[in-house]
Structure 1
Amino acid sequence: MSDESFRPSARPIMLSTSDRSVLETMVRRGSTPQKMVLRSLIVLLAADSHTNAAIAAAIDVHLDTVRKWRGRFHRDGIDALADAPRSGRPPIYTPADIAADTHEIPIARWSTPELATRMASDGITVSVSTVRRWLDEDALKPWQYRSWIAVRDPHFEVKASVVLDLYARRYAAKALGENEFVISADEKPSIQARDRYHRTIAATPRHAMRVSHDYRRRGAVTYLAAYDVHTARVFGRCEASTGIAEFTALVDQVMTCEPYASADRVFWVVDNGSSHRGQAAIDRLTARYPNAVMVHTPVHASWLNQVEIYFSIVQRKVLTPNDFPDLAAVENRLRAFADRYNRTATPFAWRYTRRDLHRQLKRVDECLEAA
């Protein structure tokens, strides 16, 4: 009889909502092994009343493969789609072999061939692939590391809270007025103009954009930007370098136009870069514009400065890949992008508050005390 639905092996498949969700997720996820994708598809199609023959034809597998996985799922459920444990030769390496000591060797990060050679010198013959498998299976990954910076400023929370309050339109426990503004400003130095030896080839179907590795350096420029955190308005300018004069020019660019020129107060959030560091920078700004108030982020807290988000957008959308014949092309692109950004952008959805900061610093203190 040709109709597979009448064969004893074509067991009816009934899927719960949770099982269907798990199977559909495995099919969609790009990291799912292909064999698990096929097994999931078999079960999903079976649950939709397709015959074994129709399923085999649809996903181009042997009919016996469909029968096998349909039957396993019918018998044991979703866990049966995983590979069963394989029998084979018992392991010949002891846990002591796998945990061989390498502390006396002056190497901070080992390669798998180096580890295999080290073990061979201790009389343990092991292949590079076996070492790689051990490392992959082990819970500890000693070659991986993350750097971190401890809070050094004893007034970190107080300084950072001022910035976070400004983002929430508060200052000194009072709400900001309609004629008060918050500007986040900084510099992005050393933007190179890389003139590629061969023209960049645009992307085509099934081919990514191709950019020549070799280039001529056509100089570098510093990009200064001031970002109004509540209106998403950005001011930008290019300078040959960074310094007090260049930062002052950016301030002039903002403070001489409305609504900032006649504002009650304009708060300038800056980091501790050399062009706007310390009390001297505060005094310079106030002397030049009495309605301007400079607020510094704590040391190692540039992540609090919202203009850094804008710089990350510029890096992705304007400067990558870097292929410019000269600095004029870089400056024109930055200027054009700022104009477009001001026509379309909305403020960043900043949700990190002083309460979040307090909880995070408390966790950091607890971790340091436990270390």
Structure 2
Amino acid sequence: MSGKAARIELTSCMHQILSQLAASRNASRAIIVRARIILLAFNKLDNQTIADTVKRCPKTVGLWRRRWRDSSQALLQMQFNLNQSAFQRAIIDTLSDAPRSGSPGRFTNEQISGLISLACEKPQNSGRPVTSWTGAELADEAQRRQLVDSISTSHVNRILREVSLKPHRSRYWCNTTEKDPELFQRQVETVCRTYYEAPQLYDRQRTHTVCIDEMTRGGPKTV
């Protein structure tokens, strides 16, 4: 009996680079095939179907699915810390024959989460004389709060762009009208915990977590 296939997760940037590699005329044949394997796996094709498509054996498909899965956290962190060219190189390294552990990157997941959380706050709460955040204001405030030792405006903008966060255009659910701060804190914790546990629920119980409210006031629902 075959084991469970490794689940593949891609950001839009990863998908774009893999698509470019899969269609490349300059990349090696091995890199092209492996990029196609990851893209097909992301589309939830099984190993045998992928193997038939790329003319490789299912064992090879499974190996590269696991290699990508095991490298995905390091790649996600590098995406926020590297420019496009360097990140493409990191992906090519991941698809190369020698295993790569990946660079830990400049910023931890906690620091990146803290920056995103800051972008969801009102600038006025930090005494900022602006009605919406800019990359420069966020970089300065993140350093003032000691979330990071230093960070450039362009790096802040790259992080926000990747998670599709546009504080200058939208109001977010974190900017609550709830008057009870303890109640709001419990609501925030419930929503964040639900999103955090969603992948584990899917892996263990095949439970899908679905957000049925654009503003997530009541939190996501599991089905």
Shorter-chain TM range is 0.3 to 0.5
TM-score with structure 1 setting the length: 0.21
Structure with greater strand percent: 1
- If you compute each CA radius of gyration, which structure gives the higher value, 1 or 2? 1
Structure with greater helix percent: 2
Report which structure shows greater RCO (CA 8 Å, sep ≥6). Answer: 1
TM-score with structure 2 setting the length: 0.34
